[in-house]
Amino acid sequence: MSYTKRREKMGRTIHIHRVPAAIALITITLIIVYFVNFHADERPAVYGLLRNQNKVNLRKLLIGAIQAAQRGGLEVLDVAQSRDLRERSKGKTDEGANDPFTDADGRSHCVMKEGLHRIFPRVKIYSEEDKESCSNVNTFDLDPTVLHETANLPNELVDIKDVTVWIDPLDATQEFTEKLYQYVTTMVCVAVKGKPIIGVIHSPFIGQTAWAWVDHSMSEYLASIHPVNPDSSKPLITVSRSHAGSVKDLTRNVFGEESEILTAAGAGYKVLQVISNNATAYLHSTKIKKWDICAGDAILNALGGAMTNLNDELIDYGPEGSPVNDQGLLATLKNHDEYIEKLMEYRKSHTAPAHR
Ligand SMILES: *[C@@H]1O[C@H](CO)[C@@H](O)[C@H](O)[C@H]1NC(C)=O
């Protein structure tokens, strides 16, 4: 058979098969029309699926956030046990302290970020270690058993475009390298329209997870450390041990000599001190990154506490703007107004005029 003949034959074959193909197509269309019209009770499900493709379920995000923090914590533990941190420096912080990075930061980042990204591919996720590249990461599937049995949580859908997730794969890296493990946490925060709604602070070396979803529920551990009637008679301020000098002076000047100071490390840990009433306030006077504070902000909100910058403004965790909060921080469970007023008054009267 010549080449042209073969082509003709193929052409004819296709031609003959067009009719049954058209019939099949019409039949399938009729079946679909039949199902959509005659199974009216199934319509909400079908149409709902289409409508919900731009939504994300906050209950699922909560489960994923808890799992991510715990999985990241396992990486941190693993590196600590291997005794080979492979510590290096990311440079200096604004306070001039070393800004260390270890394998634990990198491995935790990859597990947390990639794990969440695989389940929620269209949600914006920011991590402290976004510059790291990840390969061969063990991901995870959603496991609702990370919630306690009495946690009654609704399926609440929000627009994906309104959601930002903030990850801190290892808070208090400096203390991690010094084996001051109690300060180390892994954190995940979910913000909706810039407001912190879900916060997870996991302490891998203590083996506890504090999580809360504003207006819904909180972890049993969080409920257990949170006193019903926190005593707040005397200011007991927790501040960073890495640059405590200036903020200690500020505390004494603003709250008086009778005020006490609890030096600690890690923003996550310090928020837990406020929540457990080991401190009445957490004060930070310099820059701090949003992945350090978002989870604590959400948890404080859930417990009726407050976190603001030192101008008494809420911190915006939306996708716009800088990931740095450069106006300081005050976190309290009670009496936020009283604390912030004293701070603002003092700062107003002691701010040196700008150099010309
Ligand atoms: C509060 O302080 C006590 C005593 O130092 C300590 O045992 C406890 O773990 C602290 N709470 C938290 C949440 O760290």
Model confidence band, residue 12 (pLDDT cutoffs 50, 70, 90): low
How far is it between the farthest Cα atoms of the chain?
Answer: 105
Which one-letter DSSP state was computed for residue 4? H
Structure tokens at 345: 């008054």
Instruction: Using the mean position of ligand 1's atoms as its centre, give its distance from the Cα of residue 248 in Å.
Output: 21
284: CATH? 3.40.190.80
Nearest to 289 by CA among 166, 105, 132, 130: 166
Q: Is 78 marked within a binding site?
A: no
Task: State mean pLDDT over 157-171.
Answer: 97
Residues 188 and 142 in one domain: yes
Domain that holds residue 261: 236-349
Q: Which of 198, 225, 252 is the last residue of a domain?
A: 225
Residues 75 and 171 in one domain: yes
Model confidence band, residue 29 (pLDDT cutoffs 50, 70, 90): confident
* pLDDT of amino acid 350: 83
Ligand 1 atom closest to 278 (CA): 1
Residues 288 and 198 in one domain: no
Residues 177 and 257 in one domain: no
Whether residue 26 is contained in a domain is answered as no
Average pLDDT, the chain: 87
Residues 253 and 115 in one domain: no
Whether residue 263 is contained in a domain is answered as yes
Q: What digits encode the pLDDT tens for the residues 339-355?
A: 999 999 998 888 755 55
* pLDDT of amino acid 170: 97
Q: What digits encode the pLDDT tens for the residues 75-132?
A: 999 999 987 767 778 787 766 667 778 899 999 999 999 999 999 999 999 999 888 8
Task: State mean pLDDT over 279-286.
Answer: 95
C-alpha angle with apex 105: 104 to 106, nearest 5 degrees? 90
Which residue has the CA at smallest separation from atom 2 of ligand 1?
278
Residues 288 and 334 in one domain: yes
Whether residue 49 is contained in a domain is answered as no
Residues 64 and 199 in one domain: yes
Rounded Cα gap, residues 340 and 280, in angstroms: 13
Instruction: Using the mean position of ligand 1's atoms as its centre, give its distance from the Cα of residue 179 in Å.
Output: 18
Rounded Cα gap, residues 99 and 1, in angstroms: 77
151: CATH? 3.30.540.10
Instruction: Using the mean position of ligand 1's atoms as its centre, give its distance from the Cα of residue 331 in Å.
Output: 17
Please report which helix (H) or strand (E) contains residue 147, including its range.
none
Whether residue 181 is contained in a domain is answered as yes
Beta bridge partners, 116, equal: none
Please list every protein residue whose CB sits less than 6 Å from any atom of ligand 1.
225, 272-273, 276, 278
Q: What is the CA radius of gyration of the chain?
A: 27
Residues 221 and 240 in one domain: no
Residues 282 and 313 in one domain: yes
Task: State mean pLDDT over 322-330.
Answer: 94
Q: Which of 178, 201, 225 is the last residue of a domain?
A: 225
Task: State mean pLDDT over 172-188.
Answer: 96
Q: What digits encode the pLDDT tens for the residues 239-267?
A: 998 866 688 889 999 999 889 999 999 99
Give Cβ neighbours of residue 123 (< 8 Å, ≥ 6 apart): 56, 61, 116, 117, 160, 163, 164, 165
Question: Residue 36 pLDDT > 70, yes or no?
Answer: no
Ligand 1 atom closest to 272 (CA): 13
* pLDDT of amino acid 83: 74
Give me the percent of the chain exceeding a pLDDT of 90: 66
Residues 173 and 243 in one domain: no
Q: Is 292 marked within a binding site?
A: yes
Least confident of 80-84, 180-184, 326-330, 335-339: 80-84
Per the structure, the count of domains in the chain is 2
SS3 160: helix
Angle between helices 336-350 and 244-255 (to 10 degrees): 100
193 versus 352: the higher-pLDDT residue is: 193
Whether residue 303 is contained in a domain is answered as yes
Question: Residue 325 pLDDT > 90, yes or no?
Answer: yes
Residues 288 and 338 in one domain: yes
Model confidence band, residue 4 (pLDDT cutoffs 50, 70, 90): very low
Q: Which of 184, 276, 303 to mutate to test the pocket of ligand 1 (most atoms within 8 A of CB)?
A: 276
Q: Which of 177, 206, 225 is the last residue of a domain?
A: 225
- The DSSP string of 287-354 is -EEHHHHHHHHHHHHHTT-EEE-TTS-PPP-SSSS-SEE-S-EEEESS-HHHHHHHHHHHHHHHPPPP
Is the Cα dihedral 313, 318, 320, 326 positive or negative? positive
Q: Between the CA of residue 184 and those of 10, 172, 173, what are the distances in Å?
A: 70, 5, 7
Rounded Cα gap, residues 316 and 125, in angstroms: 15
Q: Is 130 marked within a binding site?
A: no
Task: State mean pLDDT over 177-181.
Answer: 95
Q: Report which listed range, 7-11, 102-106, 188-192, is most confident.
A: 188-192
Task: Tell how many helices (H) and how many strands (E) occur in the chain.
Answer: 10, 17
Whether residue 288 is contained in a domain is answered as yes
Whether residue 4 is contained in a domain is answered as no
Long-range contacts of residues 318-324, Cβ cutoff 8 Å, at least 24 apart: 318/164, 318/191, 318/193, 318/194, 319/124, 319/164, 323/126, 323/289, 323/290, 323/291, 324/287, 324/288, 324/289, 324/290
SS3 258: coil
Whether residue 197 is contained in a domain is answered as yes
Residues 278 and 174 in one domain: no
